[in-house]
Amino acid sequence: THFGYETVLESEKENRVAGVFHSVAESYDRMNDLMSFGWHRVWKDHFVASLAPGLSTSNPGQPQRILDVAGGTGDIAFRLVSAAHAASPNPKLHVTVSDINSSMLSVGRDRSLALPASHQACLSFLEANAERLPPQVQDNSLDLYTVVFGIRNFTNPLAALREAHRVLKPGGVFACLEFSKADKHPLFNYVYKRWSFGAIPLIGQLVAGDRDSYQYLVESIERFPSQEQFRDMILEAGFEVSGDGYEDLTGGVAAIHKGVKP
């Protein structure tokens, strides 16, 4: 049947994505640096600074509750916690790093052991599918939901956006950093496409011994909706956005989208 067919495709995509991230977990951080010339660090720092973690909570006196979805090896969560500590000596926040993939999470957990104890105390880890968050993530319970370089891997991004909307408090913020379309500048776009389709699978093969996984990553970027299409999905899930609803980074190679739950 039509539905049977869809289910097969969906579970195939889930398995494929799981395979990719089990096989890249160890080399993931090094590969990010190589493939983006270190740009992913600049984007992540900018993203986190724009969120001013630890400074806003809808419930004063309570810690700001943050869920970092598809948090992988912890890059965003660690930055959120350290930005909050830089802004205040005793910040009130708790960041849950969640990911569908146990290998990525366990690399993240190991990395977190190198952080100061005061930072570790603000972190916890949760194996979870963003499209069906587990019951411990309750309705209207979060101040901030982050998803960075994750949502384009989801089988059903709109389902994940609806889950984000469900678990955020009214006034809570959805914030996403994701690869996007650089097509506003044709020459730049041409060079960028040549790089991503030509060099990235090759680097994947040479450095990580895994061409297919990196080929998949490049194709998933190509397939992901444009800035405007993704903003419209965020609206469809029930969020409000201000202005265009997104900010381009490096000519649109990546973009930040934000929405507020009314």
Q: Which two tokens stand for residue 75?
A: 């890059």
130 binds ligand SAM (CB under 6 A): yes
What are the distances in angstroms from CA 261 to CA 73, 166, 238? 27, 9, 7
Site string for ligand SAM, 161-190 (x = CB under 6 A): ------------------------------
Q: Which two tokens stand for residue 179?
A: 């690869």
Residue 159, burial from CB neighbour count under 10 angstroms (0-12, 13-18, 19+): middle
21 binds ligand SAM (CB under 6 A): yes
104 binds ligand SAM (CB under 6 A): yes
In angstroms, the CA 121 to CA 27 distance is 27
Q: Which is nearer to ligand SAM, 182 or 254 (CB)?
A: 254
Which residue of 64, 96, 101, 196 would you call a contact of ligand SAM, by CB under 6 A? 101
Strands 142-148 vs 254-260: parallel, antiparallel or unpaired: unpaired
Q: Which is nearer to ligand SAM, 39 or 58 (CB)?
A: 39
Which residue of 64, 96, 129, 180 would you call a contact of ligand SAM, by CB under 6 A? 129
Residue whose tokens read 């265009």: 244
HEC string for 25-36: CCCHHHHHHHHH
36 binds ligand SAM (CB under 6 A): no
Flag whether 250 is marked binding. no
User: Please, what is the Cα angle at 157 between 230 and 191, to 5 degrees?
Assistant: 55
254 binds ligand SAM (CB under 6 A): no
Q: In the Cβ-directed half-sphere of 71, how many Cα atoms lie within 13 Å?
A: 32
Q: Which is nearer to ligand SAM, 84 or 147 (CB)?
A: 147
Residue type, 135: P
Q: Which helix (H) or strand (E) holds 197?
A: none
Which residue of 53, 54, 71, 252 would you call a contact of ligand SAM, by CB under 6 A? 71
Q: Which is nearer to ligand SAM, 58 or 250 (CB)?
A: 250
Binding site for S-adenosyl-L-methionine, by residue number, is 73, 99, 129-130
Q: What is the contact surface with ligand SAM in residues (CB under 6 A)?
A: 17, 21, 69-72, 75-76, 99-101, 104, 129-131, 148-150, 153-154
